[in-house]
Structure formats: C-alpha cells, structure tokens
C-alpha cells in the first residue's frame, strides 16, 4: 500500500501511548481512572485515528490530531467504556408492558423497599419469631394468599420456570392432557410443548385448534394421566367457529376422575379490567375460586411488579412443589422478593393499586389526561424551532404489550413529528442515540410519540433530545 505524503505526515503526528498517558495525568477527569483502562482507551483511540488516516477520511486534518483533541477522544472512549450497558430510557411507543424495554415500571414505594433491603442484611431465610433458619417462601406467601384467595403460594424466577416446576413435580414421566388450541408460544420461542418436554411430562393433546369439547378430555383420561392442564390464551385469541371447556367444567371433570387441574394464566391479573372499560381478562382470584389445584402467572406483566413466576393453589400440591430440588435452581433473590411483596401489598386497596402501580395507571389512563400531556409536550417542542419542526396531534392507539390483552386497542392522542431535512428513520436513530435514549415508533413516514407511556419527568428529556437533534442535523 502506497501512502500519500499527507497520509505519512498525519501518521507521524500521532503521539505515542506513553506520552498521551502522561498528558492525561494532568487532566482532572482521569484522576481515578484505572491505568489499564486508560492504556486500552488510548490504544483504541490511536488505532481508530490511524485507520481513518489510511482510509483517507476527509475529516482527519492537522488540527484534529492535536493533543487536546486526541485527549478529548480518549475521554469520550473512557466514558463510554465505563458506562453501564443497562440504561434508563424513555418509552414513547405507547406499548405499556414493553418486553424489550423492561416490561413493567415499579411503583415508587417498591423501589424504596428494594433500596432498603439491598443495602442491609435481611431476614431472607431467618425466622425472627423462632430465632432459627426460616424459608424465603414465607416472605410473600401470606400476602399472595390474602389477595388471591389461595391456600398456599410460592414464587420463582419467571412464569416459564413456574410451569416447568409444576409439571416436573406433578407429572414427571406421566401424561398431561391439554387442548391443541392452547399449545401456545409464550415468547422468545419458548413453547408449552417444549417446556413440557423439559419437565419430562408426556404431552397428550386433545381437540382441534379452534374447538375442544369435554368429551375430548374425558376420552383421553387414563391411569397414566397425571394432570389436566388449561393454558389461558393471554397472548393471542381464537375467534369465529370456536369451542372450549371452561375451567369450572375441567375442575368438575378432574374431581370425577381424581385428577388435579392446573391453569397457566400467562400474564395474570388481580383486578377485573372490564370495570375500567378494558377488555375482560381472567383474574387469579377467579381461577382459584373455580377450584383449580394449581395456578401460575407472571409478576412483571399485568401485575405490574418484578419479573417472577407466581404459583398458587392447594396446600398439598404447593408443598410438594416447594420440596422439588428444581425449586432451588429457579428461586428468586431478595431484591425480587422485596419488590414482589411491596407490589402485591398495594392490591389490598384496588383503587390505590390502580393509582400507584404504573402499569395499571397507564392502562386505565383516560383520553383527556393523555391529550393534556400531548398538548403540553407539543407546545414546548414548537418553541424549539417552529420553522423545522412539524408537529400534529393525531388519534392513534396504544397497546398493552407483554403478550397480554391481545385484542386490546387503547385510544390515544399522539404527536406526529417531522423534521425538515431529516427522514423519519434518521430521526428515530438520533433519538435512540440520545442520553438517555428516547424510543418512539414510525408510522406513515413520521416519528410518533405516544404520551400514554411517558412519565412526567420524561417530557424535559424529550425536549432536550430534540434540541440536540436539531443542532446536529
């Protein structure tokens, strides 16, 4: 490779690692930076500059290779390296339980309880009354049973883990009868048949995709039947020419043949959403009252808490599940327990839960409140650069997300934004690069901000992001 005279000159201008290391020692920012990190950042910065010179990058000039400029590049490199990968961001998508964006937001009092437990020792597995070793299951069992009406309860790391643990305990090497129309994929390619296979239970599907009758279950029952399983279709719906056996009917059949009944609710909820003008979703309390022996559901979806799989049901079965060695592998830590206990406690007062749990508050938010938030943000954004920002208030819809309430479409008032000289996709990319990132969506060649999922302190962040975008564009 033949280098031009200018390339050779620019390469000669690059200082050595030791020299830059010494120079950085005079800059306050670098005082407490580990030496190894400093050396790696300097080397990477120099290598990037060297590659740019060799590729004849037109932005590389004499002035861009001054020591001050290079030291600034090193500072940025160090800062980027030390930044945490898990970042706070702004969800402007209108998807309330956004799986990719961390699902449910935790209430303020829940966050405070986590902080209190995280920085101190706790009675995680210590019985304060007896003064001896206790069980972590007891931390939340009483409150979950109080709210759900169940006899016993425990929590594991997620709902897939809960289903796996239940099947492994109740139906290992035996048959589990389930409707073909309920063999769902719960996300991330995790499918009910796959979970069953891992538990070493034997899947015995009955009925058809759209229609399953009581006789299908009854005809499938044998001496090798361990469990009748009902899987709530929380992430999709079958409409049209359909038929299914209700949980109550399945429980009655189970009693007749001496077979336990389990229901996997998926998302799971403690409140009846139909009271708030939202589509009806089966509640945990209803499943327990219907007589299911075991019910499983998520803690971090419609419940509005941390990631967890909650198992409730009849005492003998729940106690057997607790004793399964697999339970230890799937158990949750003290921070999740702290978050889950504080979240479930809010359900002692439903009105309080709807008001204080962010997921519930966003799902039940009225259109007037959304419009007020949208109008306020639009007014502030228009002040930035009215000549380049095109903003309109439009009627669109929000989603529950998280594989929950699949038929739900929540009316919303959104901001439709265009920037002169910048495509919708480039605007989306620039907003994503903001610190903190602002995540919206594109529709009809415009950037969409849905206020339903915005928190009050998100508005100034969005305004600042647009200021930076317009400055750079």
**Residue 191 main-chain phi, psi, to 5 deg:** -115, 145
d(CA 274, CA 272): 5
The structural domains of the chain, ordered by start, are 5-82 (no CATH), 90-98+363-472 (3.90.1150.180), 108-356 (3.40.640.10)
pLDDT in tens, 261-278: 999 998 899 999 999 989
What pLDDT score does 245 carry? 82
Distance (Å) of CA 303 to CA 165, 286, 309: 21, 15, 11
Q: What is the pTM of this model?
A: 0.89
d(CA 229, CA 247): 10
d(CA 427, CA 447): 7
Instruction: Confirm if 301 and 84 have CB atoms less than 8 A apart.
Output: no
Please list the ranges in the chain whose pLDDT falls under 50.
Answer: none
Closest CA to 155 of 247, 232, 268: 268
Instruction: Confirm if 395 and 411 have CB atoms less than 8 A apart.
Output: yes
**Strands 389-401, 410-419: pairing kind:** antiparallel
Determine how many CB atoms are found less than 10 A away from the CB of residue 267.
Answer: 23
d(CA 57, CA 51): 9
Instruction: Confirm if 311 and 328 have CB atoms less than 8 A apart.
Output: no
Distance (Å) of CA 184 to CA 181, 188, 193, 195, 444: 8, 12, 8, 11, 32
d(CA 263, CA 229): 6
- State the alpha helices, DSSP H only, in 125-191: 138-148, 159-170
d(CA 151, CA 315): 6
CA dihedral 386, 389, 390, 393 (to 10 degrees): -90
């Amino acid at each position: 490779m033949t280098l031009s005279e200018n390339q050779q000159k620019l390469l000669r201008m690059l200082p050595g690692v030791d020299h830059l290391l010494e120079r950085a020692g005079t800059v306050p920012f670098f005082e407490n930076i580990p030496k190894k990190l400093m050396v790696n950042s300097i080397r990477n910065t120099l290598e990037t500059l060297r590659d740019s010179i060799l590729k004849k990058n037109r932005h590389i000039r004499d002035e861009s290779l001054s020591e001050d400029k290079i030291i600034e590049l090193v500072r940025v490199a160090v800062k980027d390296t030390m930044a945490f990968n898990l970042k706070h961001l702004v969800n402007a998508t209108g998807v309330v339980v956004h799986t990719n964006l961390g699902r449910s937001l935790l209430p303020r009092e829940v966050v405070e309880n986590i902080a209190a437990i995280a920085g101190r020792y706790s009675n995680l597995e210590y019985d304060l009354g007896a003064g001896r070793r206790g069980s972590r299951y007891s931390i939340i069992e009483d409150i979950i049973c109080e709210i759900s009406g169940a006899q016993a309860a425990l929590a594991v790391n997620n709902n897939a883990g809960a289903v796996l643990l239940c099947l492994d305990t109740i139906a290992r090497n035996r048959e589990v009868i389930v409707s073909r129309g309920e063999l769902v994929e719960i996300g991330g390619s995790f499918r009910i048949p796959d979970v069953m296979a891992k538990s070493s239970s034997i899947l015995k599907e009955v009925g058809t995709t759209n229609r399953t009758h009581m006789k299908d279950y009854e005809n499938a029952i044998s001496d090798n039947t361990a469990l009748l399983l009902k899987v709530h279709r929380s992430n999709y719906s079958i409409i049209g020419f359909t038929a299914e056996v209700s949980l109550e009917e399945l429980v009655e059949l189970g009693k007749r043949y001496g077979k336990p009944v389990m229901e996997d609710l998926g998302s799971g909820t403690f409140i009846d959403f139909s009271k708030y003008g939202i589509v009806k979703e089966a509640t945990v309390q209803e499943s327990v009252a219907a007589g299911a022996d075991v019910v499983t559901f998520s803690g971090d979806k419609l419940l509005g808490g941390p990631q967890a799989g909650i198992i409730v049901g009849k005492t003998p079965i729940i106690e057997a599940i607790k004793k399964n060695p697999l339970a230890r592998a799937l158990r949750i830590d003290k921070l999740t327990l702290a978050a889950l206990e504080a979240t479930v406690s809010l359900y002692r007062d439903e009105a309080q839960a709807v008001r204080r749990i962010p997921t519930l508050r966003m799902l039940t938010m009225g259109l007037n409140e959304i419009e007020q938030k949208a109008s306020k943000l639009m007014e502030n954004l228009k002040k930035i650069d009215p000549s380049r920002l095109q903003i309109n208030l439009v009627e669109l819809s929000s989603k529950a997300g998280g594989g929950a309430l699949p038929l739900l479409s929540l009316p919303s008032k959104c901001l439709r934004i265009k920037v002169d000289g910048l495509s919708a996709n480039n605007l989306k990319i620039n907003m994503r690069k903001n610190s903190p990132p602002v995540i919206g969506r594109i529709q009809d060649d415009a950037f969409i901000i849905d206020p339903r999922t915005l928190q009050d302190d998100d508005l100034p962040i969005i305004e600042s992001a647009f200021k930076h975008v317009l400055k750079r564009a």
